[in-house]
Every structure is written in structure tokens, then in C-alpha cells.
Amino acid sequence: MRQPPELTAQRAERTLYFNKNAPLPSRFLLSVWPILRGSLLMVLGVLLSQAVLAQSLTVVLTDSLTQSPVIGASVSVPGTGVGAATDVNGRATLAPAPAAGTRLRVEALGYRPQLVAVPADQAQLVLRLAPSAQAIEEEVLVTATRTNSRIEDLSTRVEVIGEEELVEENGIKPGNIASLLGDIAGTQIQPTSPTTGNADLRIQGLPGRYSQILRDGLPLLGGYSGSFGILQIPPLDLRQIELIKGSSSTLYGGGAIAGLVNLVSKSPVLNDPQLTITANQSTLKESNLNGFASARNQRVGYSLFAGGTRQQSTDVDGDGFVDVPRLRNFTVHPRLFYYPKNGQLALGYTGTVEDRQGGDARVVQDLSRTPADRFFVTNRTQRHSADLIYTQDSLAGGSLTVKGTASWFRRGVSTNTVAYVGRQLSYYSEVSYLHRYGSHTLVGGLNVLGEDFQPRYAESRTRMQNDYTYATVGGFVQDDWQLTPALSVQGGLRFDHHNTYGNFVLPRAAVLFKASPDFTLRLNGGYGYRVPVPYVNELDEREIPQVLPLQLLNPEAERSQGLNGDVNYQHRFASGLSLNLNQGFFYTRLQDPLIFRPVRFPIGPSATGVGLGWLNAGAPTVSQGLESYARLRYEGTEFYLGYLYTYARRRYDAANPNVPLAARHKLATVATQEIGEHLALGIEASYTGRQYLDNGSSRPDYPIVAALARYHIGPWTFILNGENLFDYRQTRREAVVLGDRTNPAFPELWAPVEGRVINVSVNWKWLR
């Protein structure tokens, strides 16, 4: 029977009293016994605690980009109930330690979940968590600004298309991202050829040659190599797309006058292998088959995309000329990854081979015959690129990045009157260092950019060839300064030296003010430039041999100043309803704009010829406007409404001042609804206002409507999609093939020519 506590204490006192007359050694032992007992208990406790620690496992979690501790993450052994949450230092302790080889599940809001094996004979496991592309909006990380910052902390406005949208686009248009880029407010995909299907990305009313395209922060398309560029990039290979509007040459050098687009490739995730296959078929006889796979362990990883497109030629309007070209395309993109301590090395190769043919429908359908009295045009392109990106995240308290790419592009053109081949070698290398110091995030670096272009004509030529060799050396510095929790400022400066066009000094500044948790204001401005190149994407293939060498006319580089700003309100109500309102504006002034015009040039002592050349205009081009959008989300329902007003003027042309094909008004709306766990429906509508052609004449406004149904079950996703359901076509209003059928003229395209398109796709994703 257990004694009451008070009786036990009294008995101890009596025992000690009755032993006062004991011998001295005994009395000494009795007097120090409490001290000895406490010491023994302390030693025993230490031994026991050491034994427990030896049998526990500490997991340390950090952000893979910022190296900051991940707080509140869950570390657990699936199916056992054993787990712990990370503290303010990103540490979680599991005691007793799971056996070696046991799989742990690591989860944190805004990060990709991981499954990792418990190492043998280690009391600590350090993991870096990669941000999830499907995380909540506030956790989107942007790489185009070099600081790898979360989107809500950026002074510069960046619009991001995440993995969820890319997955959906993969089921709608697996062959390329052109239509997806055209869905962003302020952008437009402008078709440039009714026979080859070529298209340009226009940003804020300016032609496509003023936009810069990057792949993982490396220049991808420029000069002659921009031909068909955005039509050769499949969405399945991408994790996200980042768009910065306005003059942005301070970030990556020349070319980004209207804005820049950074395409971010998928990367393997630790212990989370991926395998996805997509098949697609459309009513315009387009077939696609694409696949992506990736895997990674602690040290090495890989990713692989491979895909092909087969498009049969189609004469939609029955005029004897194809409106959709015959196309054969194959793309492969393998990447290898190595993960040294606190670093990453990625090696990649991209190869694209394409055959694109248009013109007279009878010639395209029978490729064995190429008669001189029937117009046809064939474009055969090859694009081979190799790239390297190395990052070291713990170098003197900062992060070092070394990256480079080299690209070889060949485009051969043949028609019934012209044969031409051009080859362009391009390279880019960069070293940058990022360091966070108090409230400052500093990044600076050096880069080298070059192009070597060599043309070759089938017929003999008497005038100079349009070859050129460009090299640019640049240096840049940027500071993101968090003045207060509500106010941050970004300042940047770039200096570029071009071997032909001299020096360019490019300042840039941006401000972010968080008036409240829901209300933010941004303002940013900067300078830009673009050096002349002889060929741009919108040229007709038959015009290429007529383009005069740049050395003959000596045009100057184009320079720009731009200003962009927006006010954003975003709030999540207690009911779960999310509301986002945004009002923005833009202004771009393009100095010394290059215009493409017929030019007389000397061919002898007393003779002149006529060619096509690039000349600087005597007055600027100015594009300005407003962007507005509203987005509502509630559980499985989403509604979007956007409006764009663009006022783009050529001040050098008093008779025809409107920038061609820059619609004054554009309206877009999207509504989606999830029905249960498996089915989702969506409808999209757009309105394009009146447009002006180069000669000043106007063209009418028009609507486009699309609809989608998606069904998902297990590893399978099925999509039924319809584009341009009302079948609006430019050919219903006017002919797009004029004059001599042997050597026809093609007017500017201001509306679709392919009409209604229905496609069905099937996607299979391996599930663990």
C-alpha cells in the first residue's frame, strides 16, 4: 500500500534523527547523501538524455532559393502517426529515430512535398525545399529579376503563367505556347503570313522585334534565329512563364524595349519522379505526341522532353492556297543535373528540326513537283542549343551564378522564284553574384553576348552580303532596398559596349508601396535599346534577297524610355471568395525607330538599283495605354474580365500615324467551373477593336469565342476544346491572296484565317 506523501517525509526525518549518535563515517555519509543522490540523478539524466539524442533524428528544412528556415513544416512517417513540426529555426526532431531507409514525408505550404529516406548513422538530415509552382499565388517565385524573389515582394510588376495554366495549355495546343502568350493582358499574337503560319508576339502595341525571349534567364531568340521561335516551344517542357512589360534592357541587355518573356524549364524534384505523355488531334489535321520525364536523388537528376507535331496542309477558304501550312516538327530537350553541397549544376541541350511548307495547295500536297508557274514557299529550320547553369548558394554569405549558352540556327528558304540559306551562331555567358545585406539585396555581374550571321544565296550576287558579327560586353548592378515593411525600392544600372554601335548606359528604377495587406502600388521605368539586324520575323520570304546590307545604309540603334505602373487590390473574404482588381498604365517612347522601305542604291558609276532597307525615322514612335482586369474566385468557380486600351502612334508619319495592327480596344473574359472532383468546364471570349493597316486604312472589330471541357480520373486527363467557335475569318471579309497567282501579294493579316478548330487530347501522368 502506497504511503501518503506527508507520512513518508516524517519517517525520513525520524530516521535521520535516530542516527545522530552513529559513528563519524556513517554520520558523514548520511549528511552528504542528499548531495550524492542529486549528483547521481544528474549524471544518470545526462546519460539517459545522450542515449535518447543518439536515438533521435533532427530534420533541418531551408528554402532552396533564399536559404531561410522553413517554419511550421510537417515531417512525418506515413501511416504511423509519428511526426513533428519545424520550429523557428526550421528544425524538427523525431524521437526515437526511424530506422535507416524509412521514408519520411516532408510538407510545407508553398513548397513541393518530398519523400526522403532516413540515412544510416546520421543524427541530422538537411533538406532544401523547392517552391511549388502550384502553390498559392503569394508563394510564386520569379527568376527573371535575378533576385529569386516572391512575386508579391517585387517592385517590378511581373505576370506569371504557372504550371497549372501550362498543363491546361498542353491539352489545348501541345505544339507551342503562342496562343497562351496571347492570352495575357497587354500582349497579342499577330499572324504575319497566311501561307507559313508565322506569328509574332506583340507587347503593349509594339511589333514583335521589340520583345526579348529568354529561356531560364538565357537569351533564346534574336535576329534571324527568331524565325518561328515561339511556334517551336511546347508547354509541356515548361514550369512557368514570366512576363515583364516595358523597357527592360537593364536586366539582360538590348532587345527588351516592349518587354521580356522568361521561359522557365521544368526541373526534377527530389525523390519525386515524373512521367507525362500527351496525345492530341485537331480538326485542322494537326497531330501531336509529347512526353516529359524527370527524376532526382540527393546527388544527380535528369529531365527529358521529346515531342513531335504533324500538321497536314489545309485550304480553309477554298481559294487554292493553303491557310494552314504542312508542318513536320520534332523537338528534344534533355538536361542533366548535379547537386554538390549548397549548389546545382545543370547541363542542357535543345534540338529542333522543322519542315514548313505553304503556298499553292496542289504543290504542297504533291511535294515531288515544284513547278515554276505555281507559288510555293518552303522553310526548313534547324535549331541546336547547349546551355550550362551553375549556382553556388553559400559563397561568402551570398550566391554565385555562372551560366552560358551557345546556339546554332539554320533556316533555308525556297520558293518558285527565290532560294536562300542563312546561318546564325549566337552565344551568351554571364557571371553574377547576389548578396543580402540587411535590408538590401545586391546583385551584380558581367556578361558577353554575340551573334555571327552568314547568308548564302543560290544565285550569284553582285552586291554586298548581309553578313554581320556582333559582340557586346556588359556589366550590371541592381539593389533591392527594403526601406520599410511597406516600402521597397529597386535601382539598376547597366553599361553595354557593342562592337558596332558603341556604348549604352541603361538606368532603371522601380518602387513598391504596400498601403495595406490588400492594397499595393507599383511604378517602374527604364531605358532600352535595340541594334539593327537585316531580317525580322514579319518579312515575306521573297523579300529576303532584296534586303540591302546594313553597312550600305548605316542605320543607328533604336533607343527607348518606358514607364509602367499599376494599382492592385487583392482580398480574400471570410466566405472564401477571392477578389483581385488591377489598374495599370504604360508609356513607351521609341527614339530613332527603324522603318522598312524601298531604297535606291548605286550599282555602278551611273546606275542605281532599288532594294529594301532599314532607315531611321525622323520622329519617335509612342505607345501608351491602360490595362484593367478583375478576377473573382470562389471554391471551384473563377471569373476574369480584362480590358486593354492602346494608343500607339508613328509621329514620323503624319498621313498614317497609327501603328499598324495595334488595336485601340481589346476585351477578354474567361469563366471556369469545376463540377465535382473530375469535371471542369470553361468558356473564353475576346473582342478586338478596330485596327489600322500600314497604308492607313482601317479594318473592323471582331469577336472570338472558345470553350473547353476537361475530365480527370486517376492518371488520365481528357480535354475537348473548341477555338473560334463562331468561325470568324479574315477571308470572310476580304481575300488574303491577291494579284498574280504565280507571284501573289499577301495583305496584312488582322484576323484569323484558319477558322473554327476543335481538338481532343489525352494526357497520362504516372502516379506513385
- If one counts every other C-beta atom within 10 angstroms of the C-beta of residue 231, the result is 21
Least reliable range by pLDDT among 143-147, 221-225, 373-377, 522-526: 143-147
Residues 283 and 336 both lie in one domain: yes
Q: Residue 187: give its domain's CATH number.
A: 2.170.130.10
Quick one: cell of 78?
506515413
Residues 524 and 433 both lie in one domain: yes
Quick one: cell of 339?
547537386
Rounded CA separation 480/737 (Å): 53
Residues 364 and 339 both lie in one domain: yes
Residues 178 and 245 both lie in one domain: yes
Least reliable range by pLDDT among 10-14, 426-430, 479-483, 629-633: 10-14
| 374 within a domain of the structure (yes/no) | yes
Instruction: Give burial (CB, 10 Å; 0-12/13-18/19+) of 9.
Output: exposed
Would you place residue 81 in the very low, low, confident or very high pLDDT band (cuts 50, 70, 90)? low
Quick one: cell of 307?
515531342
Q: Which domain holds residue 250?
A: 160-260
| 137 within a domain of the structure (yes/no) | no
Residues 372 and 450 both lie in one domain: yes
Residues 372 and 407 both lie in one domain: yes
For the stretch 83-98, pLDDT in tens is: 888 887 888 888 888 8
Residues 509 and 579 both lie in one domain: yes
Rounded CA separation 692/268 (Å): 47
What separation in angstroms does the CA of 244 have from each of 501, 587, 634? 26, 14, 28
Whether residue 96 is preceded by a cis peptide bond, meaning omega within 30 degrees of 0, is yes
Q: Which residue from 180, 157, 214 is spatially nearest to 562, judged by alpha carbons? A: 157
Quick one: cell of 394?
553559400
Query: Which value, to the nearest 10 degrees, does the dihedral of the CA atoms of residues 244, 247, 251, 254 take?
Result: 120
Residue that is last in its domain, among 197, 226, 260: 260
| Element containing residue 54 per DSSP (H, E) | helix 24-54
- The amino acid at residue 682 is G
Q: Give the pLDDT mean for 184-197.
A: 82
For the stretch 197-229, pLDDT in tens is: 888 888 988 998 998 889 998 987 888 888 878
Rounded CA separation 559/561 (Å): 7
Least reliable range by pLDDT among 17-26, 160-169, 468-477, 589-598: 17-26
Those residues whose C-beta lies under 8 Å from the C-beta of residue 219, and which sit 6 or more positions away, are 212, 213, 252, 253, 255, 405, 426, 428, 449
| 153 within a domain of the structure (yes/no) | no
| 594 within a domain of the structure (yes/no) | yes
Those residues whose C-beta lies under 8 Å from the C-beta of residue 59, and which sit 6 or more positions away, are 75, 84, 86, 91, 92, 93, 94, 104, 106, 124, 125, 126, 127
User: Helices marked H in 584-657 — which ranges?
Assistant: none
DSSP string, 237-302: GEEEEEEEES--HHHH-TT-SSEEEEEEEP--BTTB-EEEEEEEEETTSEEEEEEEEEEE-SSEEE
Residues 189 and 321 both lie in one domain: no
Those residues whose C-beta lies under 8 Å from the C-beta of residue 452, and which sit 6 or more positions away, are 424, 425, 426, 468, 469, 470
Most confident of 258-272, 532-546, 554-568: 554-568
Q: Please say whether the beta carbons of 612 and 601 come within 8 A.
A: no
Residues 269 and 244 both lie in one domain: no
Rounded CA separation 338/296 (Å): 9
| 7 within a domain of the structure (yes/no) | no
Residues 606 and 687 both lie in one domain: yes
Rounded CA separation 220/390 (Å): 18
Residue that is last in its domain, among 260, 280, 313: 260
| 708 within a domain of the structure (yes/no) | yes
Residue that is last in its domain, among 260, 282, 299: 260
Least reliable range by pLDDT among 74-78, 240-244, 367-371, 762-766: 367-371
Q: Which residue from 464, 767, 454, 724 is spatially nearest to 603, judged by alpha carbons? A: 464
Residues 245 and 293 both lie in one domain: no
For the stretch 251-303, pLDDT in tens is: 888 888 998 899 999 999 888 899 999 999 999 999 999 999 999 998 999 99
Q: Residue 97: give its domain's CATH number.
A: 2.60.40.1120
- The amino acid at residue 762 is V
Q: Give the length of the chain.
A: 768
Query: Which value, to the nearest 10 degrees, does the dihedral of the CA atoms of residues 293, 297, 298, 304 take?
Result: -20
| 4 within a domain of the structure (yes/no) | no
Q: How many Cα neighbours within 13 Å face the side chain of 371?
A: 10
Averaged confidence pLDDT in the chain: 85
Those residues whose C-beta lies under 8 Å from the C-beta of residue 752, and which sit 6 or more positions away, are 191, 704, 724, 728, 729, 730
Quick one: cell of 557?
540603334
| 151 within a domain of the structure (yes/no) | no
Domain count, the chain: 4
Residues 246 and 279 both lie in one domain: no
